[in-house]
Structure 1
Amino acid sequence: MTAPLYVVGTAGEATAVLRRLARGGWQTRQGFAITDPGWDVSAGKVVRYGRVPDVDTAALAVLAAARGAGVVCVCDPASQAGLVLSADLGRIGPVGVDPVEQAPKQRPAAELPVTDEQAALLARLADGETIAAAAEAEFLSLRTANRRIAAARKALGVATTREAVLAFMKRRR
């Protein structure tokens, strides 16, 4: 299995990615320096994260990825460090893509009375994310996320978001 490799622009994006990876069984550790004596650290399912302000830190992040750790780097993608980081990580594996094993196993949203977008938001809420974090992870504005959740409540025939999440969880089993 390939470790997750991410280059994101903000700490909020990093938080959303790290939460999703943690739910998938990955352990998160701040900083890119790995002190384990063995070279291959992929068996530990560890994701290293942090800011990448310069080329030296980018080199540490790439080394961690080469040793089998996942990385979530907060960096301006247009900066020199961001360009170097994206290019080097791209040689190791796909950047910004979760490993195949992380895909949630659930029934198709078509069997539920909600759209795929609404189902994605409700699934994130069921996993403990806030509406703001779920919106950010789905690349939506908070207002759009709230509207989609309101439509999901109506489709599921419930009054509150909590009831919608519970009804969604019960129906997707």
Structure 2
Amino acid sequence: MTRLPDAPRHVVPGTAEASAVLRALVRDGWHTREGFALPDPAWDVTGAKLVLYGRVADLDTVQLAVLAAARGAGVVAVADLDGVVGRALLDDLRRLGPVETGGGDTADDPVARLVPEQRALLERLAAGDTIAAAAAAEFLSLRTANRRIAEARALLGVRTTREAVLAYLRQRRPSP
């Protein structure tokens, strides 16, 4: 069985950046459609290689974009990255997986690409918890916790969980 590529998720500050991202995605075989409402009645649209795009200016549109991403569609959203709506969109999309931003901060910073569950697990491991204890504290199954940690190791470019914790501690940004 061939594995489908992960749907792209981009939040960019302007239409010029969105156009550049969309052109690259079309070259890679993705189909684009303006707006975030999915026309397909099937829940999982991963196989369609569909990317929805548009401006996200309110929380209702945030919900539509996140739902589309959860259903397997790619998302290219134009939003104010410093505003409440842009931050809400980024936070919600990052719960689903990595999100690229127009600022380029995720390319050089693998910690920025970690989803909140991965960060929370690494924080607990750094504090001395076992994986089982960290999973229980984060209300995750042990299997899910192990998968999240394996994904974090891959993103951080390390082989062991210990190396992942150390890389995370070295590269993380201080909390605001």
Taking structure 1 as the reference length, what is the TM-score of the superposition? 0.55
Q: Is the counterpart of residue 46 in structure 1 residue 57 in structure 2?
A: no
Aligned to 1:65: 69
Aligned to 1:31: 35
Counterparts of 2:42 and 2:32, CA distance in 1: 19
Aligned to 1:14: 18
Q: How does 1:24-173 map to 2 (within 5 A)?
A: 24-96=28-100
Counterparts of 2:91 and 2:14, CA distance in 1: 19
Counterparts of 1:79 and 1:96, CA distance in 2: 17
CA-CA distance at 1:79 after TM superposition: 1.1
Aligned to 1:169: none
Calculate the aligned-residue CA RMSD, in Å.
1.0
Higher RCO structure (Cα 8 Å, ≥6 apart): 1
Larger Cα Rg: Structure 1 or Structure 2?
Answer: 1
Which consecutive unaligned segments of at least 5 residues does structure 2 have?
102-176
Residue type of the alignment partner of 1:87: D
SS at match of 2:75: strand
Q: Is the counterpart of residue 4 in structure 1 residue 36 in structure 2?
A: no
1:15-58 deviation digits (Å, cap 9, x = unpaired): 00000000000001000000211100010000000000011101
Residue type of the alignment partner of 2:39: T
Counterparts of 2:38 and 2:6, CA distance in 1: 18
1:87-139 deviation digits (Å, cap 9, x = unpaired): 01001111018xxxxxxxxxxxxxxxxxxxxxxxxxxxxxxxxxxxxxxxxxx
Aligned to 1:114: none
Taking structure 2 as the reference length, what is the TM-score of the superposition? 0.54
Residue type of the alignment partner of 1:40: D
Q: Which runs of 4+ in 1 moved over 4 A?
A: none
